[in-house]
Amino acid sequence: MSIRGKAYVAGIAEHPVRKATDLSIMQIVSDLVTWALDDAGLEPEMVDGFFCDSEMPGLGVLSAAEYLGLNNLVHMDNTDPGGSAYPMHVSHAAQAIATGKCKVAVAVLAGRPRAAGKGADPVPDFGIPELAFEHPYSSMVLNQYAMVAMRHMHEFGLTSEQLAWVKVAASHHAQHNEHAMLRDLVTVEDVVNSPMISDPLHRLDCCVVSDGGGAVVVVAPEIAKTLKRPPVVVRGAGEAVKHLDGGRVDLTYSAARKSGQVAFEEAGVTPADIKYASIYDSFTITVVQQLEDLGFCEPGKGGAFVADGNLIAGVGKLPVNTDGGGLCSNHPNNRGGMTKVLEAVRQLRGEAHPKVQVPNCDLAVAQAMGGWLGSRHASGTLILERE
Query: What are the residue boundaries of the structural domains of the chain, listed by start?
Result: 8-117+211-231, 131-209+235-386
- Name the pLDDT band for 118 (thresholds 50, 70, 90): confident
Domains 8-117+211-231 and 131-209+235-386 share a fold: yes
Segment 13-17 shows an average pLDDT of 97
User: Is pLDDT above 90 for 246?
Assistant: no
- In the structure, what pLDDT confidence band is assigned to residue 121 with cuts at 50, 70 and 90? low
Considering the domain 131-209+235-386, what is its CATH architecture? 3-Layer(aba) Sandwich (3.40)
Domain 8-117+211-231: assigned CATH number: 3.40.47.10
Percent of the chain with pLDDT over 90: 89
Q: 301 to each of 139, 188, 249, 291, how far by Cα in Å?
A: 28, 19, 20, 9
For the entire predicted model, the pTM comes to 0.96
What is the mean predicted confidence (pLDDT) over 3-19? 97
